[in-house]
């Protein structure tokens, strides 16, 4: 079953650490969001394969935006 990776807070995507097709394990770092001059890591909520990456470096995101899909 697909699992969405959500933004924990509003900010800008500072780094995208995964690509479509990458295999990840729960708690792997997937993205780093820059907010209020702090770098906040976003972790994988489960094991699986990245089926879609919805954001690019530099893109602004809001809290609960979908960043990626893990199958």
Q: What is the average pLDDT across 37-53?
A: 96
CB 18 within 8 A of CB 24: yes
pLDDT at 42 over 80: yes
Q: How far apart are CA 71 and CA 63, in angstroms?
A: 22
pLDDT at 19 over 90: yes
pLDDT at 1: 77
CB 4 within 8 A of CB 44: no
> Model's pTM, two decimal places?
0.93
pLDDT at 17 over 80: yes
């Amino acid at each position: 079953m697909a699992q969405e990776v959500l933004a924990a807070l509003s900010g800008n995507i500072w780094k995208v650490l995964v690509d479509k097709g990458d295999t990840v394990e729960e708690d792997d770092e997937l993205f780093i969001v820059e907010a209020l001059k702090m770098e906040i890591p976003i972790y994988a909520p489960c094991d699986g394969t990245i089926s879609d990456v919805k954001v690019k470096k530099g893109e602004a995101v809001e809290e609960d935006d979908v960043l990626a899909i893990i199958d």
